[in-house]
Amino acid sequence: MVKKDTILPIRRQCDLLSVSRGSYYYCPAGLTEMDLKLMEKLDELFTEDPTRGTRRLSKALKKRFGLEAGRDKVRRLMRIMGIAAIYPKKNLSIANKSHLKYPYLLRGMAITHPNQVWSTDITFVRLKKGFVYLTAIIDWYSRYVLSWRLSTTLERRFCIDALNEALEKHGQPEIFNTDQGSQYTSEEFTGILKSKQIKISMDGKGRALDNVFVERLWRTVKQEEVYLKGYRNVSECREGLSAYFDRYNNLREHQSLDYNYPAEIYFGDILLKEAA
């Protein structure tokens, strides 16, 4: 809004916009190496036990890793990461009160076939010198990862891109389930679903298990790939996750799928026993 290369001086522009000159010239401090180290360990601790609050996390950082961080610092870093205690999922999606919310449609529903229910969420992925956010869309019946995207911000564009790719490649589900974050309640996102007559389902507030299959996916991805590889940058992360999701879909045996691969179930090569 305020620009240097104009006739009006900075002071006058700030006065017209009711913005203080101090806030215009202010440059926020970036994350330090120690902040990134703390976020890396907080991610591990939170994935291990999402019920830990700031007090327990602060103590665990010192006891497990010898890292000093008070509760205020832990709280600040958790806010950046988008995580909050008690909920077994990353609370990366911030609600927008002006957006329409939809009821949860899946309680007690038998999931019996592919493309009956798709679901999505966002998680934090650490890098050696920073972090990115990961979103994925998964088929509930087969656990098949239909599409995924990375982003350096929590803007809704990468969620919409993942949705469009999944619809283009795999048709459409009967029901699409999300949380109540602004990325998913926006008219741009829900409008795509409504235009295709897809029923919209949203997790109840504070009900982390409503989207349990995506939560299990995040834990698996982090423990089997992210923590082992330690990506240095975004391109390395994208390359690593691309190979991992291909393996996850096509070569990784899933106990919940009678040790079959998600692709075998999704594409109908194998029928699960309970659905036979």
Identify the weakest region by mean pLDDT among 46-55, 63-72, 203-212: 203-212
Give the chain's domain count: 2
Tell me, yes or no, whether 44 lies in a domain: yes
pTM over cut 0.85: no
Quickly state the pLDDT bin for 27 (edges 50, 70, 90). Answer: very low
Tell me, yes or no, whether 102 lies in a domain: no
Are residues 133 and 177 both part of a single domain? yes
Are residues 77 and 134 both part of a single domain? no
Q: Which domain holds residue 58?
A: 33-81
Are residues 70 and 142 both part of a single domain? no
Are residues 148 and 55 both part of a single domain? no
Tell me, yes or no, whether 122 lies in a domain: yes
Tell me, yes or no, whether 75 lies in a domain: yes
Distance from CA of residue 259 to its chain's centroid? 26
Quickly state the pLDDT bin for 87 (edges 50, 70, 90). Answer: very low
Tell me, yes or no, whether 173 lies in a domain: yes
Are residues 176 and 248 both part of a single domain? yes
pLDDT tens digits, one per residue of 116-150: 999 999 998 999 888 999 999 999 999 999 999 99
CATH number at residue 259: 3.30.420.10
Residue of higher predicted confidence among 149 and 19: 149
